[in-house]
Amino acid sequence: MTAVEVNHLHKSYADVTAVHDLTFSVEPGEILGLIGPNGAGKSSTIKIILDFMKPDSGDVKIFGKQMDEAFKNQIGYMPEERGLYKRLTAIDLILYLASLKGMDRAGAEKRANVLLEQTGMLENIKKKNKEMSKGMGQLIQFIITVIHDPDLIIMDEPFSGLDPVRTETIQSIIGDLRDDGKAIILSTHQMTKVEELCDRVLMINKGRTVLYGDIMESREKFRRNSVLVSVDGDLGDLPGVIEIKPGKDSVELVLAADTTPQIILDRLRERGITINQFEVKTPSLNEIFLNLMGADHA
Amino acid sequence: MHKTYLIFKHEFGQAIKRVGFIVMTLIVPVLALLAIGAYELVTTLTEPSVKDVMVIGYVDEVGIFSDHTDQGLIKLIPYPSREDATQALVQWDISEYIVIPSDYTSSGTIHRYTLAKELSTPAMIPYFIDSFLAWNLLKDEVPPEIITSIVSPLNLVVTRLDGNGEIAQEQGNIGNIIIPFIFSLLLSMAFMFGANSLISGLGEEKESRLIEVLFSSVSVRQLLIAKVLALGTAGLLQVLIWLLSAPLLLNLASASFGGFLSDIQLPANFLLLGVVYFILGYLLFAVFSVGVGGISSSATEGHTISMFYILMGFIPLWFFGALINFPDSPIWVVLSIFPITAPIQMMLRLGVSDIPSWQIVTSVGVLCLSIIAGLYISIKIFRAFMLMYGKRPGLAEIIQGLKTA
């Protein structure tokens, strides 16, 4: 059953349209990357899914039904800006919030220990939250988000402020959760993380969908007819190449419409040029993002 | 319901562990005990002695005031002339002196001379001089017991009767108002601390975005009702500690201080009505604070807004002086029914008036309805503005939010 179905969602604040006719879905065992510039409507979309606020029109279904209190135990949510009760210890906070997700104390303690161990936080469980660094607080928040084994996980910038080691740890756990069949919505500005982790992407701008679909297919869709080449010596004048864009370690050859990468590769070989790198260029998500948002941000 | 209980348990635990709560709860009995102890200490150290008897000089120009110079706490020493008396005064042999001029019997004038800089003559001085003069003037005219009656002609004993002509249970002396007045002060402080505590908690949760994590687990209604009840229960615990310690402290105090403290009586129904008005007042201020917490962008801003209804609740204390003389004036009746002022107003009036039952019933009813309506509106406000950060909505936005939430 589809975990989240969003149909023709619309939300306005005074004269600002935050979400306009947004439609998408998330399946179990899938990570959907929700990306867009600041103010694109990502947070509003998440808050409508979580029933924090009502849409002006459109509807949201969680596991095939309208969102209600009964689903809250199946959802894990990690907001973008995060804080903790300063006076509570990490373990007290985790157990309290786990109890609100319907977990009994023994089960919550057991699961908390596993997650604390996985994240390297076991030795900090008795620390008060005000004594923790921002990164440590982030890990506690992450544990709170997933401790109750939710079927739907919504995370807003889960990697911000984390060092590379902790980022890797969280990334690995998120991957495991997806493999366990959890539906995950990951809102982030880190395009590389979306590429690494997500199965599909929903890119929105000014509340409207600008890109939605499988990441590889999207990159393929935005692929231009060009190759990345690194050779010893001079390339010379290559027929079928309409533009050469120098890069740091390679050059991008933009090909004419009737020229394929194979033709260029054959021509380079015919000239006896030593080829160190030859790669059909597929745009990164970041490039697609910049390309699609460029006009608005110019 | 289960989640409401879990939040209640957590919030109650946090509330009673707060330093402010512990200090506030213990400070009343502790301060009272310290006051009793300090009084005992001071009275032990300053036990009246012979040296404490005041020595006053006098110059009798009439020539008939020679007896009864020992007036208990005041001893009078005759001097032949004003110069001699002045000399004795500046040498600190006496603390002051009086002159009874030769025309005293026709003018009644007595001159008093002192080195002290005082606003008015201490009350005991005229009393003892009166006594001294009366005893000397009448010593050969009437029996001593008549003179005693002339010196202290009135020992007024007042007995209050109830509507049936029986001796009333409450005799309506100053002792009746003391406990309600102190309790009203404590109530107002408890309301203020409770409201501030709730606003601080909500402010912390809003500023840290923990509120979003909580609302991904529980409903707005569950969270807010649990918070209000937890804070109310913590407050009730506090007031019960005060009320239960009151009889013990009263016994200790009356044993130590004596005097009118021995006459202190708790008005009938005081304990019952005290608890009822405490709970209702606490809940009312708490539900207002929930609404304020919803529209405030920070705890500091919330505290500022909350001062509006907190200070309004203190109005009966400001006008206590007027209230005590005319406790059943229409304006006090109105304030007894107006929900924000009712808890403190009723507590104060309990000590000085027989409040008609209809007023109590109306007041409690209005308070209950206000709490229910306040909770409903506050939850709506909170739901509408809980995710608004860094900006306080205007009145028009609040009204719009109430319509749509």
Contacts of A16 in chain B (CB under 8 A): none
* Per-residue burial over A220-237, b = 16 or more CB atoms within 10 Å of its CB, e = otherwise: eebeebbbbbebeeebee
Task: Decide if B208 and A99 are in contact by the 8 Å CB cutoff.
Answer: no
Query: Encoding tokens for residue A77?
Result: 């949510």
Residue of chain B nearest A52, judged by CA positions: B215
**Span A269-278, average pLDDT:** 87
Task: Give burial (CB, 10 Å; 0-12/13-18/19+) of A175.
Answer: middle
The CA distance from A14 to A18, in Å, is 10
pLDDT digits (tens, 9 = 90+) for B55-91: 999 999 988 898 888 888 889 999 999 999 999 999 9
Task: Decide if B216 and A86 are in contact by the 8 Å CB cutoff.
Answer: no
**What does the pLDDT read at residue B105?**
87
Q: Which of B207, B217, B223 to mutate to test the interface with A (most CBs of A within 10 A)?
A: B217
CB contact set of B38 (below 8 Å; sequence gap of 6+): none
- Boundaries of every domain in chain B: 2-37+174-404, 51-151
Q: Is residue B268 within 8 Å of residue B358, measured between CB atoms? A: no
Encoded amino acid at B38, one letter: A
pLDDT digits (tens, 9 = 90+) for A159-177: 887 888 889 999 999 999 9
Listed residue (B40, B42, B44, B36) closest to B250, CA to CA: B36
CATH annotation of B51-151: 3.40.190.10
Q: Tell me, what DSSP letter sits at residue B398?
A: H
Task: Decide if B3 and A85 are in contact by the 8 Å CB cutoff.
Answer: no
pLDDT digits (tens, 9 = 90+) for A101-140: 999 999 999 999 999 998 888 888 888 878 888 888 889 9
Contacts of B404 in chain A (CB under 8 A): 54
Task: Decide if B208 and A82 are in contact by the 8 Å CB cutoff.
Answer: yes
pLDDT digits (tens, 9 = 90+) for A130-155: 888 888 888 999 999 999 999 999 99
The two beta strands, A183-187 and A152-156, are: parallel
Task: Decide if A77 and B213 are in contact by the 8 Å CB cutoff.
Answer: yes
Q: Which regions of chain B are under pLDDT 70?
A: 1, 40, 43-52, 168-176, 250, 252-268, 387-391, 401-405
Residue of chain A nearest B213, judged by CA positions: A77
pLDDT digits (tens, 9 = 90+) for A48-91: 999 888 888 999 999 998 888 888 899 999 988 767 888 889 99
User: What is the set of domains in chain A, with CATH numbers?
Assistant: 4-220 (3.40.50.300), 224-281 (3.30.70)
**What does the pLDDT read at residue B378?**
87
Query: Encoding tokens for residue A134?
Result: 């921002």
Contacts of B197 in chain A (CB under 8 A): none
Contacts of A83 in chain B (CB under 8 A): 204, 207-210
Q: Which of B6, B16, B208, B387 to mutate to test the interface with A (most CBs of A within 10 A)?
A: B208
**Which residues of A sit within 8 Å Cβ distance of B?**
47, 50, 52-54, 69, 72-73, 75-87, 96-97, 99-101, 141, 144
**What does the pLDDT read at residue A142?**
93
Q: Secondary structure of A55-67 in the HEC alphabet? A: CCEEEEEECCEEC
Contacts of B210 in chain A (CB under 8 A): 83-85
pLDDT digits (tens, 9 = 90+) for A234-267: 877 888 888 888 888 888 888 888 888 899 899 8
**Span A8-13, average pLDDT:** 89
CB nearest B209 (choices: A75, A82, A99): A82
Residue of chain A nearest B3, judged by CA positions: A100
pLDDT digits (tens, 9 = 90+) for B277-325: 888 998 999 999 988 888 887 788 888 888 889 889 888 888 887 777 7
Contacts of B7 in chain A (CB under 8 A): 100
**What does the pLDDT read at residue A248?**
83
Task: Decide if A52 and B386 are in contact by the 8 Å CB cutoff.
Answer: yes
Q: Which of A80, A100, A138 to mutate to test the interface with B (most CBs of B within 10 A)?
A: A100
Confidence of residue A193 (pLDDT cuts 50, 70, 90): confident
With both helix axes pointing from N to C terminus, report the angle between B357-385 and B270-295 in degrees, rounded to the nearest 10.
Answer: 20
What residues of chain B, 209 to 248, have a C-beta less than 8 Å from chain A?
209-210, 212-219
Query: Encoding tokens for residue A3?
Result: 């975990």
The CA distance from B309 to B191, in Å, is 10
Query: Encoding tokens for residue B123?
Result: 């009350």
How near does any CA of chain A get to the CA of B201, in Å? 9
CB nearest B10 (choices: A72, A77, A96): A96
Q: Which of A43, A52, A71, A73 to mutate to test the interface with B (most CBs of B within 10 A)?
A: A52
Residue of chain A nearest B5, judged by CA positions: A100
3-class state of residue A255 by DSSP: strand
The CA distance from A125 to A145, in Å, is 16
Q: Touching check for B390 and chain A: CB below 8 Å?
A: no
Task: Give burial (CB, 10 Å; 0-12/13-18/19+) of B146.
Answer: exposed
CB nearest A100 (choices: B6, B209, B212): B6
